[in-house]
Structure 1
Amino acid sequence: MGSAPSSLKREVHEELSCSICLELFTRPKVLPCQHTFCQDCLRDHAEVKIPLQCPNCRQQVRLPPQGVAGLPDNHIVANMIEKLQKQEKHLEEIREQPQSGNRCSFHPSEEVKLYCKQCNVPVCTECCEEGHDGHPTTGLKKAAQERSSTVQALINEGRNIVENYLSFLRSLREEEKTLNEKKQQTDSIIIQAYNQMVLKLRKRKDHLLSKSGENHTKNLHRIQTDRDRVLEDLNELSAACDRAEQELQQGWGEFLSQQTALIEVVGKYSGKAAPTPVQTQPAVFEPTDTPVPVLGHVRVQSLPSAPIPAATAPIPAKPASSNVAAGGRGHQHGNQRQGEHQPQKVTFGERGSGTGQFWDPVGVTVSDEGEMFVADRGNQRIQVFTLQGTFVRHFPTIVSGKEKMYPWDVAMDGEGNLWPWVVGGTKSADFAVQYNKHGRVLRTFDLQQTVWDRGVAVDTRNNHILITQTTGDLKNKHGEFLVFRPDGTLVRTVGQQQGVKHPRYITVDGEGNILVADIWTHFVFVYSKDGQFLFQFGGKGSGEGQLKQPNGICTDRAGNIIVADCGNSRVEMFDKTGKFLKHISTDMRSPRAVAMVRDGQLVVTDHGKDSVSIFQNF
């Protein structure tokens, strides 16, 4: 048992050490995956690994605006390290104190030789005379021998409990290792399934291109055959005319002798129908309007609980949240009405910077041509897709020259050009920029100040640009929306009098009314086309008709209002008076922006999953 203390110290140090620097944590920061690292170690790692991934499990981490310093502190680990360091310092001080032998602490000149049985303390002769007169005593050595067995039994019991706790910690490490390996295996299988499906799609693409090429070749052959036939007739007729014209110039006698041949050739062609245009049949690709291929499903495998050592005292655990089991907030499925129709949905996208990948898709709009424009904020670009989720093109959100801005929202203009307006910000200013559909900057105007993120909408009746704005600090926010002409001239400012705090997204309905979603007050504010306040609805909560951090907002042809209820992880529908109608979706993580399509489809971006969903028949 002599090595037990050093073994315990080593294992405790291992549990409280950073896996990057292998030293005790300093300013420990905890990631969303619950792994903890030193703040400086994470900062160095973040500079090398972009985007940041957990060094242990490789899960991507979305850093707050303050960077690594803004991550939550692991106060439990910090307190444990502080206690450990104080204990080690105390033990070191004890070891460094000079040994006083068996000298009495009250009478330093006397040696302790006796043990007072009544008071259970070692004493010297003078102590017996002064404070322990008449108390039963025994020799110090004999008393130590009598009590050593009891003390040793307690030590042994304590060591056994310590070993059980250490065994439990080792089992947790093994369980974490197993989980990491299982995740890597699952991810590998998902990627393999994806690659196989991509291979099948590539073969199908090659087959369709081959069929298109064969059709094109047949049409070209038909054109060439008709060209050769007409050229042959043209040569014969042209030669006869040229010959007759030449003979006519040479003399009447020669002409009259050859007149019969010319009559024959011209008569041959005057009775024939003129050549008609070639009837070709070009191939046309018609994409199937079906959901994208489904790779498979990720299910949670039930594992047997690891047994707790019998001698270990129970360790309190936090109660399991139903949110985790359901893959979202616990109230979501309870809010879905029994028997309520579930819409068809196509979902595409994932976190990344490649084609068709997103990093915080915060805005979306759809042109009359059926092209979907997505504001990909983290990647500083606009991506364009078909309504089947097929990537078309993308362009960077450039303000001027090479300066890029982070886009916050996007809306189509009202001049019939189908060109998007984008609001966004750089480090120094906010801008409204109009691009053509291929990303060339058409016009720009400065929004004068840098504020919280904004939303944009276009009033197509008068082509006014409506942009939300929030000023002030966290404790004293002021919200409003600004109405501009396309040249940047400010028409009016609306919303200061109704208690609007942080308006994020904005839209205009079919009657010209203006709707603004306020993520701070959890209300939707409705104004007339002239900016007069009409009513508000919502309010913080998770019940029917309540909202929590409402984000994207749009309306359908019937005037029904659709809201991305981000804080409740659902998409809601209200009628034009603000009366709750139904849940459109309750299985999204953080629905952010919404847009209606002319044929009745609904597009929703999911900030939490970095994806886009297209709903039909909702």
Structure 2
Amino acid sequence: MSDTFKKKLEENVTCSICLDIYKCPLTLSPCLHSYCYTCLVGYVAKFSNSSNPTAIVIQCPDCRAKITLPPTGIDGLIPNHTLQNIVDELAFDEEEPERKPRPRPPKGGEEGHLEKVREDTGKVADVTSCSTNKTETNNNNGLSTQNLNVEEKHSYPPTVVDNSCSSTSPCDSNREVQKPPRPPRPPPPKLPATNSNTMLYPDITNEKAKLQMELEAEERPMDFDPCKDGLLMKFGKYGSGVNDLRKPYGLALSSVGDMYISDQAGSRIIHYSSTGVLLHKIVTDCDVNDIALFPNGLILVTASKAGNAILRVYNLNGTIVGEYSGLHFQYAKPSGVAIGVDNYAVVTSLENNCVYVFTEQGKLSKTFGWKGAGNEHFNVPAFVTVNNKNYIVVSDMCNHAIKVFTMEGTFKYSFGHKGKDVGMLMSPMGVCTDNDNNVIVADTGNFRVQAFSSKGQPLGCPLEDTFKIGPNVRPINVAMDHHNNIIVLLLGNQFAEVRTYLWIPPPPKSLKDSILSFTGSSMSKMFGNVAGNF
């Protein structure tokens, strides 16, 4: 079984709850989705009804269809024997040793005839001579059997053909004629010695030879550890295992420096320590997108397929302790989330291209923005953050810009436009701010992370050329740790990883530099106006 086919087959026999190969899969009815027995035990426990334990209604983890369990509970579900057979076949294929090819039997002809004689009589037929004076002929094939001597031998059967037979002998029809050996080839002629300046092929022009030499000079050894400048730490990997990442999206830090990552593929929230050690996992019954943390440690996530809820609040044990819901939020497609002063929650909506602001009690306080390209418009607002001034910073993905608003929804300023140069953006996604309110942006379309001042002046790229790490590897989200370093969430083709990079913001301009800069700009404007009058 090829590795590619085996990998595709393993993806189809992976449980979407534990993200591991099925173990005793059971099928839900009527949606016919299958899950591991032990996974369903933990999942159904969340829906158990103490008043009527026999009537348990759950939601399918994949399609959210309502499933009524039989009176016997999980034991009454139908086992999926087809999936189990495929899993067993995969396990048998891994354990089965490599088989050596069996030798082919000899083909027909004289060797096949001798092989048959050896199998029937245990003797080896050796043809020693073939006389032209035959006295007895086989009526079937005309072969002479007068001078066929059969000798008993215990070694492998050599077949010797006597070349003394005449050309008119009947055995010529079944005997391969041995051709005389070919004469040895003459040695190649010696070419005249050439110096290093003489080209090997005379039809290549000097310009082509020069270009070829330049291309060879530009070749550099392959970098097997790219994007390592300023790298402090990396952890996590892509895979179908329980502890692996499949489609990470949200990224947040706790007050003690622990990291929380939301995985859209498994509807999970994964808890890591500040050093990248896996501590805990929370499996949800909805699609989780971005993630934020309250000061008291509760987890706030943007939720899809959660009924009318746009936000859900979880404790560290994975229990739902609150919801932000409303009928008009059912198809909002929430993406980014951030928490501001007074625990106000800020959420971006991909469907409505707007921003919602909720109070600490979960009441909708403000809605601003709609689809468009203006200052107060959005076109796929992907992520959001809140800086130290309680300003809302939004990454407007398809407008290729970063826009800043007050908590009341008043537009302040924006920066960035479509392009590849420094200061330009291409489909920005994750956004965060450091202690000095500098804005760090995951410039996803340009395979880099860019830094800007609080007013939008470019400060450089802490991370560039992420495509060198692997195929289509891009920064998806960013965050700042307690040491003011940048945490980057990378995602590509069968690649997922979290990295921490050193961030040293440039020193702020002194008063003298600010005055000189202001004076220079004022003088240039004044001379420009004077020149315009003439």
TM-score normalised by length of structure 2: 0.49
Q: Considering fraction of residues, name the structure with more helix.
A: 1
- Report the structure number with the largest CA radius of gyration: 1
